[in-house]
Amino acid sequence: MAAAMDSPLPIVTRFAPSPNGRLHLGHAFSAIVAHDLAMEAGGRFLLRIEDIDGPRSHPELADEFRRDLEWLGLEWEEVPAQSTRLASYEAAADRLTERGLAYRCRCTRKQIAALPRRTGSDGFEYSGSCRETCGPADGQGPAALRLDIDRAMRAAGEVVWVDAYAGSVIADPREFGDVVIVRKDLPASYHLAATLDDAADGVTLVTRGSDLFDSTHVHRVLQALLDLPVPDWHHHKLILDDDGEKLAKRRGSPPLSARRDSGDDGLMLAEQLRLHKTEAGT
C-alpha cells in the first residue's frame, strides 16, 4: 500500500476538439503532443468531444475526428462528450451564484465594450463591468452568467499554476474582466465546461496550444473556487503557415480528412509533426 501511495500520479492528457469544423494540421500536432506526453510516461491519453457550441457544433464531425486520429496512428480512450455533462455545469454555476461570485447579465458584447474601463487600486485597468447594474436587476429573457472577477479573486486568494515552459505563473484573469461562465444561449462557456471536465476526467496535464495560455488564468481561479484538483499545463507552440500565421480552420488550411481521402499517409504525417515538435522544442 505504501509503495502505491508513494508512486507518482500517472500522467493523463487529453485532446478536446470542438466539432465546429474539420480538424487541420494544428489539431493533429496538438493531439500528437498530448498523446506522446502520456505514452512516454506510461499514462493515458483521452479524447473529449466539446460539442456544446450551439448551432456552430456539428456532432457528426466527431466521427471524422476519430478517423483522423486513427489515420495518424494514435490510440486513445474516449470520455463522455460535453453535451452529456450539462448538469455538472449547472451545479457549478449555481454554486458560484449562491456564493455571490457570479451574476446574471443581459448585455450584448457591444454594450460591455462601450462601458468605461475602470482602474483598480493597484493601477490595473479592468474592462468595463455591468455588475452594478445587471447584478441586482432581475429582468426577463436570456441572461449570461458572469464571474465577478474582483470577488472571485479575493475568494480564491493568490493561486499559482505551473506551465512546462513558463514555469510558475500567478493566476491573474483580470484582463478578461467579468468573464462569462455561462453563455446566454448555452449551458456553459468554454472556460467553465473545460475546467470541470478536466477535473472529472482526472486530467493531470492539460496540453493545448499557446493561443489558450491566457485562458488558464481563468481556469485556475475557477479550480480554486470550486475546490477542483490542480493539473499541470503544457501550452505548446503553434504550427504556423508559410506566412507565419496561425493555421486556423477559417483560413482554409486543408483539413486532415481531405488529406486522408486523397490517400496521404497519416503515419508519415505524424512522423513529420514529431520531427517538427523536436525541432521547435515543444
Binding mask 126-145 for ligand GLU (x = CB under 6 A): --------------------
Residue 57 binds ligand GLU, judged by CB under 6 A: no
Shorter beta-carbon distance to ligand GLU: residue 81 or 130: 81
Residue 31 to residue 46: CA distance in whole angstroms? 10
Q: Does 169 bind ligand GLU (CB under 6 A)?
A: no
Asked if 17 and 191 touch (Cβ cutoff 8 Å), the reply is no
Cβ at position 233, least distance to ligand GLU in Å: 10
Nearer to ligand GLU, 24 or 260 (CB): 24
Cβ neighbors of 227 (< 8 A, separation 6 or more) are none
Rg (C-alpha) for the chain, rounded Å, is: 20
**105: three-class secondary structure by DSSP:** strand
CB nearer ligand GLU, residue 56 or residue 154: 56
Least CB distance from residue 36 to ligand GLU, whole Å?
16
Nearer to ligand GLU, 143 or 203 (CB): 203
Distance CA 68, CA 64 (A): 6
187 contributes a contact to ligand GLU by CB under 6 A: no
Is residue 17 within the footprint of ligand GLU (CB under 6 A)?
Answer: yes
* Interaction between residue 18 and ligand GLU (CB under 6 A): yes
Q: Return the residue of 39, 212, 228, 248 that touches ligand GLU, per CB under 6 A.
A: 212
Binding positions for ligand GLU, rule: CB under 6 A = 16-18, 50, 194, 208, 212
